[in-house]
Structure 1
Amino acid sequence: MKIAIVTDSTAYLPERIKNSPNLFVIPIPVILDGKIYNEGIDIEADEYYSLLNSSKEFPTTSQPALGEVIDLYEKIAAKGYDTIISIHLSAGISGFVNTLFSLTDAVKGITLYPYDSKITSVPMGHMVEVALDLVQEGASLEEIFARLDIIRDNTYAYLIVDDLNNLVRGGRLTNGAALIAGLLKIKPILTFEEGKIVLFEKIRSTKKAFARAEKIIGMRDKEIDRPVKLYVIHANNLAVAEEEKEKLAKQYPDAIIEIGHFGPVIGTHLGEKAIGLCISAQ
């Protein structure tokens, strides 16, 4: 059995795995002022936020064309792979991973396993990294999926955004939550619940929202009976991300803490300056 790992461009991938021969990435399209950009190919995060701020229309995202996905899978098969584990952003954000189940018999000689990460960005990149390492070690499919499930079941992210309008307009958060936030002038903490972005708590100020999220991360650390990693993820907001990393390092001196960023697709929904604090089993 020869296993390939496929993911999509919303995954924030560690440098050490980007050139792995067993890794393949499907770009997710972003449509900005009528022009289609393929994330990670036509546009990178820093450039995107500059275009986003000057755009005339609200940007949208779409699923990759199935023909292009099948073409990639066929190319993978031509390289001698017979098995594909396709790890993708949460079905609560995009229907793409569910669409892949219709392709399980589309490529001759390939057994396809779509996998819903129920998250995105850095935590999903961590899942991809672990899967690649296990493939390299010769692990079985059962061992790989068991490890992915442990990580997925022990990953928690808390999002603090500047403006909920992007999430509402993109259909990723209920209008009611945004309306309440606007009326009360609160700074909400959002989280992922069954892969969907939902309101977690209503906080009165940004400072208190960060303090609360930092505390919740510690509570989750106690719940996860495994080594963990902490992540600070930002949407063109590196200075604040570095401040948060310093604060987390003081509160959790033994923790591994990494900084990553939200790419164009997720940045479209969260908006510029969003910050995510995340804890994940290793």
Structure 2
Amino acid sequence: MLHLFTDSLTTLPPGMIEQLNIGIAPVYVVFNNAQIYRHTVDIQTEEILSLVMETGKVPGIAAPAVEDFIQLFTPSVGGIDQVVYISMSAEISPSYRNAEAAAKHFPKGKVTVVDSGCFSSGTAMMTVQAARIAKKVRTWASFGQKLDEHRAAVREELILDRMKKVNPTGNIYGLPNRIISPLKLKPKLHIQNGISSNLEDTLLGNLRNNQQIDREFIVISQTMAREPAEYMKNILYESYGFKKVILLSNINGLLCRTTPRSIELSYLLKK
């Protein structure tokens, strides 16, 4: 049996997490030395965003430590489960490296760390797809093959409020190590500037008439942009033909540091 894990930056609805039996590794949210919280354990997403609005300060975000992952995986590895951890792109996520280090603590093959190659909503899409695949396939080889197919099909659109002010080498996780920005994540991540402009015009070229897009479901992740995200959810239902739209509130926009207000879309291309 596969037991799936991801970290709390891959925001999913609580009901879906429970239904799909997905384990969550909390990231650390650091406002100062006296205010360090485990996301989704000590502090919830909306509380973090409220603090940002009240104080005007964007917190640092630190990955779960290696020991955190070991403690998280141990109950499953001690049973009969095969652990699969799905991470945001290894290019930007220390969580990937820490999870890989934790995997070496266990017998070979018991813990597999998967690089989604995606930012936040794309990783959420990958995690949901992995849970669905796990219920249908009988072998580890078949699971890996199907997951690779879905990874190749994932596309993302990131819409920022003031793209010109983004620091392209920003301190993504609030730590001394300066790592590549999500804005340079990969060619599949299409970045636009336009939350304050007409969102429907922003989307038209990529989504409405693209016959390659799977319309079964789409994921919207928003940080401090609930109203435009709600508007986008409605037009995706009414004008774009998507059967299911999952709207998530998350802290991933804080990773862009100077432009925390953001909306991200993730969808699949048809096979």
Question: Deviations for 1:33-75, whole angstroms, at most 9, x for unmatched residues?
Answer: 3321111111212111111123365421112111121122222
Question: Deviations for 1:13-39, whole angstroms, at most 9, x for unmatched residues?
Answer: 245432258431111111113321111
TM-score by length of 1: 0.76
Given candidates 207, 211, 229, the residue that maps to 2:197 is 207
Aligned CA RMSD, in angstroms, stands at 3.1
Residues 1:19 and 2:18 are matched in the alignment = yes
What's 1:258 paired with? 245
Instruction: Provide the secondary structure at the position in 1 that maps to 2:118.
Output: coil
TM-score by length of 2: 0.79
Query: For residues 58 and 238 of structure 1, do their structure 2 counterparts lie closer, same or farther at Cα, with a shift above 3 Å needed?
Result: closer
Deviation at 1:139, TM superposition (A): 3.0
Question: Deviations for 1:206-254, whole angstroms, at most 9, x for unmatched residues?
Answer: 42565133321246x4335x5552233211322211211222334323x
Given candidates 208, 211, 220, the residue that maps to 1:232 is 220
Question: Deviations for 1:116-147, whole angstroms, at most 9, x for unmatched residues?
Answer: 11224343223222222333345322222222
What's 1:135 paired with? 134
The answer to whether the 8 Å contact 1:10/1:262 transfers is no
Q: Which runs of 5+ in 1 are unaligned?
A: 173-189
Distance 1:208 1:238 in 2: 15
Instruction: Within 5 Å, give how 1:40-119 maps onto structure 2.
Output: 40-55=40-55, 57-81=57-81, 83-108=82-107, 111-119=110-118
Give the counterpart letter for 1:97 in structure 2: Y
Q: Which runs of 5+ in 2 are unaligned?
A: 173-182
Instruction: Within 5 Å, give how 1:128-277 maps onto structure 2.
Output: 128-164=127-163, 165=165, 168=168, 170-171=170-171, 192-193=185-186, 200=191, 206-207=196-197, 210-218=200-208, 221-224=210-213, 228-253=216-241, 255-264=242-251, 266-270=252-256, 271-277=259-265
Query: For residues 22 and 58 of structure 1, do their structure 2 counterparts lie closer, same or farther at Cα, with a shift above 3 Å needed?
Result: closer
Distance 1:235 1:200 in 2: 15
Distance 2:13 2:46 in 1: 18
Deviating 4+ runs (over 4 angstroms)? 164-169, 199-203
The answer to whether the 8 Å contact 1:4/1:84 transfers is yes
Question: Deviations for 1:157-200, whole angstroms, at most 9, x for unmatched residues?
Answer: 2222223446547346xxxxxxxxxxxxxxxxx685258x6x74
Query: For residues 167 and 275 of structure 1, do their structure 2 counterparts lie closer, same or farther at Cα, with a shift above 3 Å needed?
Result: farther
Instruction: Provide the secondary structure at the position in 1 that maps to 2:197.
Output: helix
Instruction: Provide the secondary structure at the position in 2 that maps to 1:193.
Output: coil
Number of equivalenced pairs: 256
The answer to whether the 8 Å contact 1:242/1:259 transfers is no
The answer to whether the 8 Å contact 1:241/1:259 transfers is no
Distance 2:63 2:153 in 1: 27
